[in-house]
């Protein structure tokens, strides 16, 4: 199906045009699985999802949906959602190359099924959890989050998933667990970038346990009403909306509970540039550039203004308490 937008007359393809039918149908099944058992804000039917995914492609029609669907922990986003074609073609996923266009070009080699996530460390119920079981573990919701990359651009994306806290509660961390480490796939056979020395593979990220337990921290399986495209971190990824995008690890294979702050990939690569916390903060510059403003992807015409970056990416009311009394210049 093609959607003609009012503004530019351009006919935007939606997923059903660009995806082979078999893949499309298996996506439908997955989305159905996502929707089963869902209560409250979760979407009821595939038809509703499809209608929603299509409405994302039409500029200017998102505010009402945003208002009804994104009230998680009091965080409402009333901004235009980034177009799917931008969110799925301008990516950072260094396992598939360092150019923004590389992941969309190269990630087709990623094998997302079968998939499982190993839970280990200081936890009562360690083990290997199959993707199918993770999908069903809790009701999935649609949540619209800003994603602010440390490089100075941002997007607004409707994710599909549930709070990571749901999984954490199920596996029961032990009293000594203070941090959570997220390890993502590093398969040199399917990921051409893993041969490069730009990062120490696998890509590892980490959160304090209370950050990981915060209701805004999302375990995402989909976006725009579809399963995640491979370049966006299929089949499951993290989204931590108040932190710079690199904290949101893609294609997760291991979640480890520890008593020590994890060594993270970007911190190991350049400790003075990428701190462990990496909360979005317009007052703390990157050593090589300001973080006070950002460019919204899709708004980069000749006269597009830069936006002011918001403290904690606009989620200060929800997460500010997590950092009460901390010197955020020191713990950047
Ligand atoms: N996860 C892995 N495994 N590898 C990566 O290179 N890049 C990070 C993060 N997660 C990255 C990753 C960075 S720098 C950003 S800004 C976001 O993913 C980008 O997510 P997006 O492509 O969905 O916008």
Contact 280, 310 (CB under 8 A): yes
| Residue segments in the chain with a per-residue pLDDT below the cut of 70 | 1-71, 74
User: Could you tell me which residues are beta bridge partners of residue 13?
Assistant: 2
Global confidence as pTM: 0.83
Q: Is the CB of 95 under 6 A from ligand 1?
A: yes
End-to-end CA distance of the chain: 46
Establish whether residue 264 lines the binding site of ligand 1, counting it when its CB lies within 6 angstroms of any ligand atom: no
Domain map of the chain by residue range?
A: 4-323
Q: Is the CB of 184 under 6 A from ligand 1?
A: yes
* Nearest CA residue ID for atom 2, ligand 1: 250
Atom of ligand 1 nearest to the CA of 203: 3
Query: How many angstroms does the Cα of residue 9 sit away from the middle of ligand 1?
Result: 32
pLDDT at 9: 37
Q: Which pLDDT belongs to residue 301?
A: 76
> Residue 214 to residues 187, 206, 310: CA-CA distances in angstroms?
30, 14, 19
Q: What is the pLDDT of residue 75?
A: 76
> Quick one: pLDDT at residue 331?
97
* 147 ligand 1 Cβ < 6 A: yes
Q: Does domain 4-323 have CATH number 3.90.420.10?
A: yes
Q: What is the pLDDT of residue 28?
A: 53
DSSP 27-80: HHHHHHHHHTT--TTS---HHHHHHHHHHHHSTT--HHHHHHH--BTTB---SP
- pLDDT at site 238: 98
Encode pLDDT of 106-147 as tens digits: 999 999 999 999 999 999 999 999 999 999 999 998 899 999
Ligand 1 neighbourhood includes 277 CB (under 6 angstroms): no
- 129, containing H or E segment: strand 127-130
What pLDDT does 61 receive?
Answer: 44
């Amino acid at each position: 199906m093609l959607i003609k937008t009012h503004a530019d007359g351009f006919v935007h393809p939606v997923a059903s045009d660009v995806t082979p039918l078999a893949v499309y149908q298996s996506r439908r099944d997955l989305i159905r699985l996502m929707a089963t058992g869902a209560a409250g804000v979760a979407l009821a039917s595939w038809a509703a999802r499809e209608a929603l995914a299509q409405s994302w492609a039409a500029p200017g029609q998102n505010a009402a949906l945003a208002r009804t669907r994104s009230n998680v922990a009091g965080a409402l986003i009333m901004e235009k959602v980034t177009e799917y074609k931008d969110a799925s073609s301008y990516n950072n996923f260094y396992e598939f190359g360092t150019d923004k266009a590389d992941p969309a070009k190269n990630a087709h080699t990623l094998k997302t099924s079968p998939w499982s996530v190993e839970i280990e460390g200081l936890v009562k119920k360690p083990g290997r959890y199959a993707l199918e079981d993770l999908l069903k573990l809790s009701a999935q919701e649609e949540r619209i989050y800003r994603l602010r990359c440390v490089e100075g651009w941002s997007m607004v994306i409707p994710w599909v998933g549930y709070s990571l806290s749901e999984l954490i509660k199920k596996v029961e961390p032990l009293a000594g667990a203070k941090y959570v480490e997220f390890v993502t796939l590093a398969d040199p056979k399917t990921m051409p970038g893993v041969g490069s020395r730009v990062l120490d593979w696998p890509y590892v990220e980490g959160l304090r346990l209370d950050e990981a337990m915060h209701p805004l921290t999302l375990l995402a399986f989909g976006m725009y009403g579809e399963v995640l495209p491979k370049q966006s971190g299929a089949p499951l990824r993290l989204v931590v909306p108040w932190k710079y995008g690199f904290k949101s690890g893609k294609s997760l294979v291991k979640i480890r509970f520890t008593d020590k702050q994890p060594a993270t990939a970007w911190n190991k690569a350049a400790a003075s540039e990428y701190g462990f916390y990496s909360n979005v903060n317009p007052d703390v510059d990157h050593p090589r550039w300001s973080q006070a403003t950002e460019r919204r992807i899709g708004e980069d015409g000749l006269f597009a203004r830069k936006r002011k970056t918001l403290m904690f990416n606009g989620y200060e009311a929800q997460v500010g308490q997590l950092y009460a009394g901390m010197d955020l210049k020191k713990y950047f």
